[in-house]
Structure 1
């Protein structure tokens, strides 16, 4: 993957309403096509029972009133699948185990069949190639002069992740 035009993926991020990984309240994606950011989108999602825990609200600022009329995860996933997954089969996340678990648990809850997806982790890549004392998404972006949006909002975090991963690929492959 040393040619920039070969780099195609979707960076994805989930925010949750509770400690349950199936309690997605926001989904963000950043589409990278031919090594360039093509689109960033986010959707508020009504979690099951629209129930939130205090600490989750403290992290992302999303509240029950923000999602009471939002679509559920099934509706949002159907749009993502219909619009993007014919073209993309690689997801990038910063801490893949969390984001993959959110997707899998939500798919189980809503009885959604997931296609085979390839996952790449910007966190694991950062740990391998940089020697920072902290590897959080916001810290890495700050250290590497990557533009940052509102941290812990899914669309901004997905775009930060995409920009970080592109930078990691540049640093590894010098593309």
Structure 2
């Protein structure tokens, strides 16, 4: 398994709105190896938070009051996507909808990006009763930091996806047509 490049991505939101991104994380994989993990706090619209979302990720309004807004963070993420326009997310339906809704909200262009979903791959490959990211990482002894922090979750997703690729015997991402889409 060589030559596989992708960027695992994860978002945390301040409220139930997909445009309320308060943290973004990426994990860059080149030649089937994790080479960089990075995260950004993001100031959501009006810096408003739901009690329930804070309970999940532990990010508070005071943490993001001076953080950049989504367009600035997306511009940085875009620099990585220029080199590798392939995203992977665990439950990509959520993360990709965060991107789509935020791009629309801020009037930003939709880039041509292929994405894959490690959750859909797990459901296809394994017979676990649970397919949550932390559960799967525990099953495969994939070490991780703080679950529901974007950088750590992106890293977990990248490592899980590499495991899925290995277990499925894929040589190229294109073989995974049942768990991909276009942004």
Number of paired residues? 171
Does 2:166 align with 1:133? no
Sort the Cα spacing of 1:112 and 1:174 in 2 relative to 1 into closer, same or farther, 3 A.
Answer: closer
| 1:41-93 C-alpha deviation (Å, 9 max, x unpaired) | 00000000000000000000000000000000000001111x21221111000
TM-score, normalization by structure 1:
0.96
Displacement after TM superposition at 1:148 (Å): 1.3
Please state whether the residue corresponding to 2:19 is helix, strand or coil: coil
Please state whether the residue corresponding to 2:12 is helix, strand or coil: strand
Corresponding residue number in structure 2 for 1:14: 11
Displacement after TM superposition at 1:174 (Å): 7.1
Corresponding residue number in structure 2 for 1:42: 39
* Cα distance in 2 for residues equivalent to 1:35 and 1:114: 27
1:104 to 89, 100, 108: 100
Displacement after TM superposition at 1:150 (Å): 0.3
1:68 to 56, 65, 80: 65
Corresponding residue number in structure 2 for 1:170: 166
* Cα distance in 2 for residues equivalent to 1:122 and 1:79: 24
User: Unaligned stretches of 5+ in structure 2?
Assistant: 172-183
Displacement after TM superposition at 1:146 (Å): 0.6
Displacement after TM superposition at 1:109 (Å): 1.0
Please state whether the residue corresponding to 1:138 is helix, strand or coil: helix
* Cα distance in 2 for residues equivalent to 1:114 and 1:59: 29
| 1:17-62 C-alpha deviation (Å, 9 max, x unpaired) | 0000010000000000010001000000000000000000000000
Please state whether the residue corresponding to 2:110 is helix, strand or coil: coil
Displacement after TM superposition at 1:142 (Å): 0.1
Please state whether the residue corresponding to 2:25 is helix, strand or coil: strand
Displacement after TM superposition at 1:147 (Å): 0.8
Please state whether the residue corresponding to 1:86 is helix, strand or coil: helix
TM-score, normalization by structure 2:
0.91
Displacement after TM superposition at 1:116 (Å): 0.8
Corresponding residue number in structure 2 for 1:152: 148
Displacement after TM superposition at 1:149 (Å): 1.3
Please state whether the residue corresponding to 2:82 is helix, strand or coil: coil
